[in-house]
Amino acid sequence: MNTKSHKFNKLVISAAVMAGIFVVNAGTVLASDITPANVEYLVNSERTYYGLHPLKVDTALNTAAQTKTTDMLRRNYFDHFAHGLSPWDFIEKADYNYLYAGENLAMNFQTSEGMVSAWMNSPLHRANILNPDYTDMGIGVVKGVYSENGEVSDTIMVDNMFGRRKPAILEAFNKFISKIAEMYKF
């Protein structure tokens, strides 16, 4: 075999191997597991792409979102409002005093990218992700068994809660008004 041909074949094989490695790595990046960290990254990527500040993860909103997803799976429902509870009930119970709050739910997605893409293609979910009034988010991810219409399947439920805390002065004012109302039994 001549040396030029051998070097050329080696170059082609090296390029093919590198391309294969790139494709495998790109595939991994484009198909990530559904985890709170991946959801946070993708939601904040969408926000920064549209010129908005990224949201910070708030422990109280994380608790609210995780509690809600656990409750949905335990009681076998998938809804913003069920069993006399709203998303705001979970948020308040987690001691997040909100000025603004919202919620995105998802179920039966295989990747974080697929889920966030579906949210971005839904006007109401997209509005939550791109709402400039929000400063915080919390993410609950629960894997388990869900049944619907007699069919039982493994699933992943996700709750992405959004919010902005009340300013301290407004919080103090609300407490003051509550005390007056208690005094006069309003």
CA distances from 79 to 85, 100, 107, 115, 168 (A): 10, 20, 11, 16, 32
Q: Supply the pTM of this predicted model.
A: 0.77
At 30 the pLDDT is 63
At 89 the pLDDT is 97
Tens digits of per-residue pLDDT, 119-136? 999 999 999 999 999 999
Tens digits of per-residue pLDDT, 176-186? 777 888 888 75
Looking at the chain, the whole-number percentage of residues with pLDDT higher than 70 is: 82
Give me 147's structure tokens.
């049944």
At 172 the pLDDT is 72
At 121 the pLDDT is 98
At 39 the pLDDT is 98
Residue 136's nearest CA partner among 58, 42, 19 is 58
Tens digits of per-residue pLDDT, 98-108? 999 999 999 99
Q: Which residues contact 148 (CB under 8 A, 6 or more apart)?
A: 78
Q: What is the mean pLDDT of residues 53-67?
A: 98
Res 62 pLDDT > 50: yes
